[in-house]
Amino acid sequence: MEDLPVDLQDLITTIERSEREPLQYVTDAMIVAERIADMGDQLVDHFVSQAREAGASWAEIGVSLGVSKQAAQQRFTREQRVRYKMSKGGLFTRFDETGRNAVQRAVSHARSLRSVEVNTLHLVMGLADPASGRAHAIISNLAGSATQVSDAARESLVGPKRSRKVEHLPFADDCKKVLELALREAIRAKNRNIGSEHILLGLLRTGSCHGARLLVDHGVSRKQVETWLEEIPFSGQ
């Protein structure tokens, strides 16, 4: 196999271009590392999908991966995909239960609506779900009804639909950015884990994405969310 198209010095140079403080470089480096890990998963997913389309069995794919047939199926079948990624390491391990629930609900909505990727409107629907804890409470409080916000997000969805089932549903670039910003919000708040409220703040920080605009249109602004969190501070560690 040939050398990879990027090396460590390339990554260091990319991070240092931002001219940030040393501790901010640490956070940026962690985010880049998580992004690389996610790209690695997607790379394997791509060729696993090709192998399946070519007629390879799960047992054969398991041998190529160095795992059992059952482990290969657990990683790559539709319903297990998000749970696997959230348990194997990387950014997703930083999410608490409410953060995981928000992302899982977003993926479920995207899949049930036959979307080609998980976007920020799906993420709004996930955050508005009661299982998302504080984000649901904030949206309900500021917008008056989390259900109405979720319904509005569903009605705002446009774009192509999948014509067939797929084993891997990717996150849109702006959705990935929201999850990275959620990590920054957790660090800024001096919390170990990323909660649904951090995802909500990360979403609103993007400003221009469809999900953020919809929330603002329904009375959920970043400033209001921060005020709400100041009045009802986070009690976790």
Same domain, 100 and 69: no
How does residue 164 score in pLDDT terms, banded at 50, 70 and 90? low
Residue 175 lies in a domain: yes
**Residue scoring higher pLDDT (216 or 84):** 216
Q: Note the pLDDT of residue 28.
A: 73
Residue 129 lies in a domain: yes
Q: Note the pLDDT of residue 65.
A: 82
Q: Note the pLDDT of residue 130.
A: 95
Same domain, 174 and 69: no
User: Could you list the residue range(s) of the whole structural domain that residue 203 is in?
Assistant: 90-237
Residue 122 lies in a domain: yes
In this structure, what token pair is assigned to residue 150? Answer: 């979720």
Same domain, 96 and 210: yes
Residue 83 lies in a domain: no
CB 153 within 8 A of CB 118: no
Of 50, 76, 102, the residue that ends a domain is 76
Q: Note the pLDDT of residue 23.
A: 67
CA distances from 167 to 29, 66, 76, 118, 177 (A): 30, 20, 6, 13, 23
For residue range 31-54, list pLDDT tens digits in order.
Answer: 777 667 767 777 887 788 788 888
Using CA atoms, how far apart are residues 192 and 105, in angstroms rounded to an integer? 22
**Residue scoring higher pLDDT (40 or 77):** 40
| Average pLDDT rounded to a whole number, residues 195-219 | 93
| Average pLDDT rounded to a whole number, residues 193-218 | 93
| Average pLDDT rounded to a whole number, residues 60-72 | 83
Same domain, 124 and 199: yes
Of 15, 44, 76, the residue that ends a domain is 76
CATH number at residue 149: 1.10.1780.10
Residue 82 lies in a domain: no
pTM exceeds 0.75 = no
In this structure, what token pair is assigned to residue 47? Answer: 């060729």
Q: Per-residue b/e over 61-78, b at no fewer than 16 CB within 10 Å?
A: bbeeeeeeeeebebbbee
**Residue scoring higher pLDDT (181 or 28):** 181
Same domain, 69 and 157: no
